[in-house]
Each structure stands twice: as C-alpha cells, then as structure tokens.
Amino acid sequence: MQNRIRGLENANSIFLLDKERGQYWSEIKTELEKCSSQREYNELLQFENRDLEIRETKTKCYTLVREIVLKEPLLMENKKYETPESAIELFCEETRTDLEKEDAERLGLHSGQIDEEELKIYRKVAQDINSNRDKSFFFKKILGHFDKGGSS
C-alpha cells in the first residue's frame, strides 16, 4: 500500500487532497496502529485499500484526459472547464454524489458497495478513454461536450 501511495505522490495525483509527500501514508499507518482488534484492523485496511484503488483509477482517468488535451489543446476551447483538472474533479464529484443519491433512494447499498460501484465506473471510463481517445463518450462527457453551452 505504501508503494502504491508513493506512485500517486510521484505522479503528483490531484486526488491526494493536497497532502504533503508521506502525509497520506502516515495518516493511514497511525489509524491502523490505533485499531483495538484484528477485525477492526482488517476492516480499516480493506477500506483504505479500496479508497486507494479509487484514487489510482481516478488518477488514471485524469492522466488520459490530460494527455489527450495536451496533444490537442483545441479540444478544451469553448468548453465549460478551463482545465482538465477542474473537469475531471467535477466529473468525479458528480459521480459520487449520484451514487450516494441513488443509494439514499434505494436504501440498499452500504459505503463499501457504493465504493465498488464508483470503482467500476472509473475503470470503464479509463478503458473507454484509453481505447477511443478523444472520440470517447466519457472523454466528451468529462469535458462538458454534452452540457448546455458546451459544443459537440
């Protein structure tokens, strides 16, 4: 887990919440040390692993979007967002909010299940953008091509 966090730090992931290098791992380690039972430790470790996997997959999506935009800057013209960072951050926020809203309406999912659904979405997004590049539905959705005021 520590090496995976270092990978995100080395990639300057925008999904580490502006934490200083080493701070994210330090906080996890401290919380793990506070666990009073093996069960609590395992549950926290499972949660942190899932959270880290979501951050890694969101970072992959962002990296792909940014790579495409750097090669074709005109793709950002006349769009809702000024930067790929703001576009992907809002997409991720809206994705999580939609899942939580859906959960509230169904009253069926627990946080871990919402996380799994979120992870599935980001994996699908990364795969679609990786395969279809700037023709990707998700690439266009992230940049706001389908929003009112965005061009197609």
Q: What is the pLDDT of residues 52-87, one digit of tens each?
A: 999 999 999 999 999 999 999 988 876 778 899 999
Which pLDDT score, from 0 to 100, does residue 51 have? 94
Confidence of residue 111 (pLDDT cuts 50, 70, 90): confident
Residue 136, classified by CB atoms within 10 Å of its CB into exposed (0-12), middle (13-18) or buried (19+), is: buried
Q: What is the pLDDT of residues 20-37, one digit of tens each?
A: 999 999 999 999 999 999
Separation CA 124–CA 128 (nearest Å): 6
Residue 144, classified by CB atoms within 10 Å of its CB into exposed (0-12), middle (13-18) or buried (19+), is: buried
Please state the pTM of the whole predicted model: 0.90
Q: What is the DSSP string of 80-134?
A: S-SSHHHHHHHHHHHHHHHHHHHHHHH----HHHHHHHHHHHHHHHHHHHHHHGG
Which pLDDT score, from 0 to 100, does residue 109 have? 65
